[in-house]
Amino acid sequence: MNLADCSSHSATARLLHFGSPGAIYLRRFVGSLHVGRCGSNPTHVKTLRLRSNPPKTLTVTEAELAASAKIIDGKMVAKEIRDEITTEVSRMKDAIGVVPGLAVMLIGERKDSATYVRNKKKACESVGINSFEVRLPEDSAETEVLKFISDFNDDPAVHGILVQLPLPKHMNEQNILNAVSIEKDVDGFHPLNIGRLAMRGREPSFVPCTPKGCIELLHRYGFQIKGKKAVVIGRSNIVGMPAALLLQREDATVTIVHSRTQNPEQIVKEADIVISAVGQPDMVRGTWLKPGAVVIDVGINPVEDATCPRGYRLVGDVCYEEARKVVSAITPVPGGVGPMTIAMLLSNTLSSAKRIHNFQ
């Protein structure tokens, strides 16, 4: 089993629960046993009998048995949330005849952005939310984008508006994000929403999806946030900064680490909760982490790997193989925060439709 290889992010990868208190979670594997992309060298091998029908045996190394970190399964939690949304969307449709609608705008030809938009559209379909898509060429005028946003702001069938970032260089991101009605700002990037997030006693209409997904994972796994020391690595407007604000609202004591921070490892080592949103593969090593900490790894970083069909694989900001031997729980990459981001977008769209139509 190579937890970092392509098999670990196949569509069939899932967690196996060994059913005992303090349970060990291991991923289903394809292929030979092998641990570690960051230098671990397993020597001892054990055989486990899985509780399955028919019973299966699984060979794992002692290094793996010692690695008791719980895997925070974002894919599974996101599925639960999507099922809840499906039920609510259909309840709303039956009760008041309203179907939530999400408008997604893609400007330019970036392949990654096109994939994200396609995934968001598919996710809407899967829960019964209507999606409206606008694609504009790279050289479109900003006024054209603003006109679409204005139309969506006025369209009663649209409850959420998302402009896929990054925008082409000639466009002013601030102008465009400010144009989205605060009542339909399901990405939560409008300065008024971020401002309210930062202020005590104010409630934002929407919270940015990725950081919201991080906190939702902590809640659904029952990790206490109140009173804990939290470190957020990264301070971007879309992940790091709102993640820090959210943790603070949950009564954690929060420190932000960024590219100019001196001795980041010493600061991270103090943290009970680490949220990393940096974009540097395997930057956070096992030695940076406090034993028993909970780690949410937002980073999605492609690294070259000739053994993978696409020639690369995705890794997080945190060196997973080292970290899972130190911490009590960690999100995998992929399969951690990524699926939660889209689930939160759907959740924000549903909340928006409920709020606009005063539906409880």
Q: Which active-site residues does the annotation give?
A: 120, 164, 187
- Give the one residue of 298, 330, 343, 350 binding ligand NAP; rule: CB under 6 A: 298
Complete DSSP assignment for 73-108: -HHHHHHHHHHHHHHHHHHHHHHH----EEEEEEES
What residues contact residue 356 under an 8 Å CB cut-off, 6+ apart?
A: 159, 183
- Angle at which helix 111-127 crosses helix 337-356, to 10 degrees, equals 60
Task: Give the nearer residue to ligand NAP in terms of CB position, either 113 or 280.
Answer: 280
The verdict on 255 binding ligand NAP (CB under 6 A) reads: no
Task: Give the nearer residue to ligand NAP in terms of CB position, either 160 or 234.
Answer: 234
The verdict on 211 binding ligand NAP (CB under 6 A) reads: no
Q: Give least dist CB 187 to ligand NAP, A.
A: 11
Classify each residue of 331-356 as buried b or exposed e, where b means 16 or more C-beta atoms within 10 Å of its C-beta.
bbbbbbbbbbbbbbbbbbbbbbbbee
CB-neighbour burial class of residue 254 (10 A; exposed 0-12, middle 13-18, buried 19+): buried
Residue type present at position 284: V
- Name all contacts of 261-270 with Cβ < 8 Å and 24+ positions apart: 264/233, 264/288, 267/231, 268/231, 268/233, 270/229, 270/231
Number of residues in contact with ligand NAP under rule CB under 6 A: 26
CB-neighbour burial class of residue 305 (10 A; exposed 0-12, middle 13-18, buried 19+): middle
CA-CA distance, 197 to 320, in Å (whole number)? Answer: 31
Residue type present at position 42: P
The verdict on 278 binding ligand NAP (CB under 6 A) reads: yes
The verdict on 260 binding ligand NAP (CB under 6 A) reads: yes
CA-CA distance, 215 to 221, in Å (whole number)? Answer: 10
Q: Give least dist CB 98 to ligand NAP, A.
A: 28
CA-CA distance, 328 to 325, in Å (whole number)? Answer: 8
Strand partners, 276: 233, 297
Backbone angles phi, psi at 313, to 5 degrees: -135, 165
* Cα within 13 Å of Cα(327), Cβ side: 33
Interface positions, 320-359, toward ligand NAP (CB under 6 A)? 337-338, 341
- Can you state the percent helix, strand and coil of the chain, rounding each to 5? 35, 20, 45
Task: Give the nearer residue to ligand NAP in terms of CB position, either 273 or 283.
Answer: 283
- Give the one residue of 121, 258, 285, 357 binding ligand NAP; rule: CB under 6 A: 258
The verdict on 318 binding ligand NAP (CB under 6 A) reads: no
Window contacting ligand NAP (CB under 6 A); options: 33-41, 138-146, 198-206, 271-279: 271-279
The verdict on 264 binding ligand NAP (CB under 6 A) reads: yes
Q: Give least dist CB 105 to ligand NAP, A.
A: 18
Q: Give least dist CB 31 to ligand NAP, A.
A: 26
State the binding string over 214-243 for ligand NAP (x if CB under 6 A, else -): -------------------xxxx-xxx---
The verdict on 301 binding ligand NAP (CB under 6 A) reads: yes
Strand order in the sheet with 273-276: 70-71, 329-330, 294-297, 273-276, 229-233, 253-257
Window contacting ligand NAP (CB under 6 A); options: 34-42, 128-136, 168-176, 257-265: 257-265
Q: Give least dist CB 300 to ligand NAP, A.
A: 4
The verdict on 140 binding ligand NAP (CB under 6 A) reads: no
The verdict on 110 binding ligand NAP (CB under 6 A) reads: no
Q: Give least dist CB 350 to ligand NAP, A.
A: 19
Q: Give least dist CB 334 to ligand NAP, A.
A: 8
State the binding string over 82-101 for ligand NAP (x if CB under 6 A, else -): --------------------
> Would you tell me which residues interact with ligand NAP (CB under 6 A)?
210, 233-236, 238-240, 257-261, 264, 277-280, 283, 298-301, 337-338, 341
